[in-house]
Amino acid sequence: MEHFVEIKPGRKLLKRIFLSINLWFVGKAIQAAAKVDDEVKQEFDALPDGFTFSLGAFPNGPYMVVGKNEKGVVKYMGSKIDTVRLDMKMSLKSIECLFLLFTFQESTPVANSMDRLYVDGDIPHACSIVRIMDIVQVYLLPKFIAKLAIKRYPKWSLKRHTWNRLMVNLRAIAGF
């Protein structure tokens, strides 16, 4: 029929690459912060051993997976969600919504309040993960950007702001 077309909408490669890199780095940074930062450590301690979670875009990613093994060690576990058993899945409704989040046009609370973010899993665990990610954002981002991403910029000690920040970033890049 002349007035009819069937279209298979393609990909968004640039956004996908940009977001994959960001997610990879955030995943690594969470792993690093769990070693360096006491508050992040405490939050992870409260989560059950073997707890894994993902953050990504519906329906085909990109994703990052972070988990805590039986010994309580927190590890970035890659970008595939189908090879691991997930206890919690945080998804943005589309890759565009994830892009808004990672370009700081919308903060996590804002994305959440606009129904762009949904969580599959236990709510108290989700609360811990959001707090962990808030802290990690403070480590990774300059203050004026982090302020857009979180509700209340924390008052930290000088050591936490300098030495810990350096360590989190170094470990995230070096991957140890």
Partner 1 sequence: MENSSFEYLCRTKTGFGKNALDHLPSDLSAMDAKKPFVITSKAVAQSGVTAHLIDAFKESGIILGIWDNALNDNLVDTLRDLTDLYNNKGFDAIIALGGGVVADLSKILNIIVSKGPHALKECKGTDNIDAPLKPLVYIPSGICTGRETSRYACVAEYAYDSQFLMPDIAVIDPRMFSKAPWEDMVNEALRSFTNCLESYAKEDNPLIRSYAYTALGVIMEALPNIMESDLPNNNQSQDQEHLPLLAKASVINGYLISNCDTLVCRPLGKMISEKCSAPEGVCMAIILPYVLEFLCKDRETGRILLPLAGIERYCAIPDTQRFGKVLFIIREIINDFFRISNGRVPRTLEEAGLKQEDLAGIVESMSKRTDIESKALALILDNAMSGRSMTSS
Partner 2 sequence: MYIPSYYEFCCKVKTVAGHGTLERIPGLLEAMGARNPMIITDKGVSQAGLATIVINAIEDKISIGSVEDDVPPDSDLKVVNHIASIYKKKACDSIIAVGGGSVLDTAKGVNIVVSEDADDLMQFTGAGALKRELKPLIAVPTTAGTGSEVTLVAVIADHDNNRKMLFTSYFLLPDAAIIDPRMTLTLPVHIAAPTAMDAMTHAIEAYICLSKNPLSDAHALEAIEMISNNIMAVMEAPDDGDARLALGTAATLAGIAFSNSMVGMIHTLGHSVGSVCHVPHGTCMSILLPYGLEYNMHKVGDRIAELLFPLAGAKVYATTPRQERAQKCVQYTRDMNQKLYEATNGIHARNLKEITDRDQNPMVPQSKLPEIARTALGDGSIFYNPEALEYDDCLMVLTAAWQGEKLDQSKVRKG
> Is residue 45 involved in binding partner 2 (CB under 8 A)?
no
Q: How many residues does the chain have?
A: 176
Determine which residue in the list 25, 79, 84, 100 makes contact with partner 1, applying CB under 8 A. 100
Binding-site partner at residue 5 among partner 2, partner 1, none, CB < 5 to 8 Å by type: partner 1
> Is residue 113 involved in binding partner 2 (CB under 8 A)?
yes
Residue 61 CA to residue 164 CA, distance in Å, equals 31
Determine which residue in the list 25, 94, 122, 147 makes contact with partner 1, applying CB under 8 A. 94
Q: Which residues of 36-57 are buried (b: 16+ CB within 10 A; e: fewer)?
A: bbeebbebbeebeeebbbbbbb
Determine which residue in the list 10, 14, 70, 82 makes contact with partner 1, applying CB under 8 A. 10
Q: Which residues of 110-128 are buried (b: 16+ CB within 10 A; e: fewer)?
A: bbbeeebbebebeeebbeb
User: CB–CB of 23/91 below 8 Å?
Assistant: no
> Is residue 130 involved in binding partner 2 (CB under 8 A)?
yes
CB 41 to partner 2: min, Å: 16
> Is residue 96 involved in binding partner 1 (CB under 8 A)?
yes
Q: Count other C-beta atoms under 10 Å from residue 76's C-beta.
A: 21
Binding-site partner at residue 1 among partner 2, partner 1, none, CB < 5 to 8 Å by type: partner 1
Q: For 87, which DSSP code?
A: S
Q: Interface with partner 1 by CB under 8 A: which range of 26-34, 46-54, 55-63, 158-166? A: 55-63
- Binding residues vs partner 1 (CB under 8 A): 1, 3-12, 16, 57-60, 93-97, 100, 115-116
